[in-house]
Amino acid sequence: MNKEEYVSLIDGRDEETARYLFSLARKRREEYYGSKVFIRGLIEFTNYCKNDCYYCGIRKSNRNASRYRLSDEDIISCCEEGYSLGFRTFVLQGGEDPYFTDERMCRIVSEIKKSYGDCAVTLSIGERSRESYQKLFDAGADRFLLRHETADFCHYSMLHPENLSAENRQLCLKNLKDIGYQVGTGFMVGSPFQTTENLADDMLFLSSLKPSMVGIGPFIPHKDTPFADKHSGTLELTLFMLGLIRLALPYALIPSTTALGTISPIGRELGLKAGANVVMPNLSPPSVRKKYMLYDNKICTGEESAQCLECLKKRVENAGCQIVVDRGDVYKP
């Protein structure tokens, strides 16, 4: 599809088109993955960040954020608990925290791979040099999540301070792919100043990058950011975009995100019904969860990991799918 076709499809959407889109999306997902839903254990290991993204609750200028870092031992014990619960992918996510040098990160990755050789390690630690990405890959990291946030350079500059550019973010994605990572990207739906043309460009960007994973979620304001007074993205548009992504990239691993669950009590179930096939329960120690507050009212910040998983299992079953114990690598024909 070209840009104009995406724009008219998105702008002209109604309930009936959405229902039809979701049925096609589910069919495509089933062709590739059956009714399987993969789980990723999310470990939010630092909320220090040197960046100042206007939308993000852990941006460096937020003096109200109470900062924390997990130790190597804390991270390993999250993996230990996760492994016993059936997780075979660990996602290490954090702000861009210079304390976690290449040496430190490589040590953590190789320690996890040594103890849990049948598991995949996914990193989500922002923009780094190509050399740094290479070292982390050589240490054993399998996958990398880096949302492009918005493909449009001008829109990108409305969401970020001047020192951050869409150009560099997209170069990072290219480097990650060249190195051999399974790459994930994505964007926020309903972010401030976003137009339908921007969403169409995001779709074209995805079609040309062909990432293994695509994470999208509604933008949700955080009270201590410059975007505190902006509106959230809607459930309805986020689900529609999710369905379109499944059709454009039928083989992709697409999470039904926490942000979807935050704007609606059944957001994650609806995400699965619109074509998603991954959920990412929180494995971070409950003591730090409220501190990784990217946006207001984030869910799952009080539970133990086992509780989170039990709750998600029920939600996945309500959506007609099953959680499996599996690394959940991207489909290879």
Q: Is 108 in the site for ligand FES (CB under 6 A)?
A: no
Q: Is 249 in the site for ligand FES (CB under 6 A)?
A: no
Of 30, 74, 81, 96, the one binding ligand FES (CB under 6 A) is 96
Give the one entry of ligand SAM, ligand FES, none that residue 59 binds, where binding means its C-beta sits below a cut-off of 5 to 8 angstroms depending on kind: ligand FES
Give the one entry of ligand FES, ligand SAM, none that residue 295 binds, where binding means its C-beta sits below a cut-off of 5 to 8 angstroms depending on kind: ligand SAM
**Interface ranges with ligand SAM (CB under 6 A):** 55-56, 93, 95-96, 124-126, 146-147, 149, 188, 217, 219-220, 222, 259, 294-295
Q: Residue 62 or 124: which CB sits closer to ligand SAM? A: 124
Environment class of 96 (CB within 10 Å of its CB; exposed 0-12, middle 13-18, buried 19+): middle
Using an 8 Å Cβ cutoff, are 257 and 233 in contact?
no
Q: Residue 228 or 325: which CB sits closer to ligand FES? A: 228
CA gap 16, 19 in Å, rounded: 5
Q: Is 58 in the site for ligand FES (CB under 6 A)?
A: yes
First to last CA, the chain: 24
Q: Residue 59 or 113: which CB sits closer to ligand FES? A: 59
Give the one entry of ligand FES, ligand SAM, none that residue 222 binds, where binding means its C-beta sits below a cut-off of 5 to 8 angstroms depending on kind: ligand SAM
* Look-up of token digits 């996958």: 143
Give the one entry of ligand FES, ligand SAM, none that residue 87 binds, where binding means its C-beta sits below a cut-off of 5 to 8 angstroms depending on kind: none
Of 41, 95, 255, 271, the one binding ligand FES (CB under 6 A) is 95
Using an 8 Å Cβ cutoff, are 214 and 252 in contact?
yes
Q: Write down the H helix ranges in the chain.
A: 3-11, 15-33, 72-85, 102-115, 130-138, 153-159, 166-179, 196-209, 235-248, 258-263, 267-273, 286-289, 305-318
Buried b (16+ CB within 10 A) or exposed e, 73-89: ebbbebbebbbebebbb
Length of the chain: 333
Q: How far is the CB of 140 from ligand SAM (least distance, A)?
A: 20
Of 56, 70, 79, 109, the one binding ligand FES (CB under 6 A) is 56
The residues of the shown chain that bind ligand FES, judged by CB under 6 A, are: 49, 51, 53, 56, 58-59, 95-96
